[in-house]
Amino acid sequence: MDKAALTRNLRVYVPLLLTPAIPWLGVLPAGRWWVPLVAPLTLYSAFLARVHLRDYVGAWRLGIAWAALLSLGVISMVLLSPSLAEGAVLNGEPYRQEMFHWIDTGEGAEGEPALFLPIHALHLAVFVALTWISAGYLGLALGAVLLGYMSYFVASYAAAAGSPVLGSLLAWVPWSVIRVMAFVLLGCLFARPLVVRRPWPFGPRETRLLWLAVAGLLADVTLKALTADGYGLLLRQLAGGSLP
């Protein structure tokens, strides 16, 4: 690798590797509110450069790496210092309570399409709108909020189940993983209009990727509707019964 390529890689990956530290800033005054707004900074420059070049695969890979590292930061905070995490992660504790109740009883939006479909539709509409008007930045910020409270639940479940590794892997339910992947792809696509100053700069290539993202979203809701009840029972059994 030549010196120029090494320099480019360092500019991309050194900031990206700082991402797990971002959630810990939530312990600062009002941190839970502004952490999502600064979280994209470790990704955004490299992400935007790839979107500008129509390197959607490269942008998507970076977005997925960023999401995984951000989730790792939240999970590590919850496992190491749950009292700090409770005040640092926006909507973390309410979402944990909602998900624990669903695992314990089977009741709640997670297993009811009539309840979760409007929530999914709202998140999708807001995400696309924010991405479009900000060249992706505000969409990533919303993604940081969603990832934050989902990761808070994941780590809380892992701790309650007494299995940090297996619990964390299983609590990241499959449909949520698919949704994250689809949202990142949509972010790559809908960041481009503002970057190139054209309202619809999409050709056949972008259309194919858009349909791929739509397929991911459909897979998300279908898998959730068909398997959520059984998966919730699996999580309850792994935890050894009722969750705290």
For 50, list phi and psi in degrees, rounded to 5: -75, -35
Half-sphere exposure of 6 (CA within 13 A, CB side): 3
Tokens of 95: 């979402």
| pLDDT score at 142 | 98
Residues in the chain, pLDDT under 70: 1-7
| pLDDT score at 243 | 83
Domain ranges of the chain: 3-238
Question: What is the residue whose two structure tokens read 């969750």?
Answer: 243
Looking at residue 105, the DSSP 8-state letter turns out to be: H
| pLDDT score at 59 | 97
Question: What is the residue whose two structure tokens read 């639940």?
Answer: 153
pLDDT digits (tens, 9 = 90+) for 191-240: 999 999 998 899 999 999 999 999 999 999 999 999 999 999 999 999 98
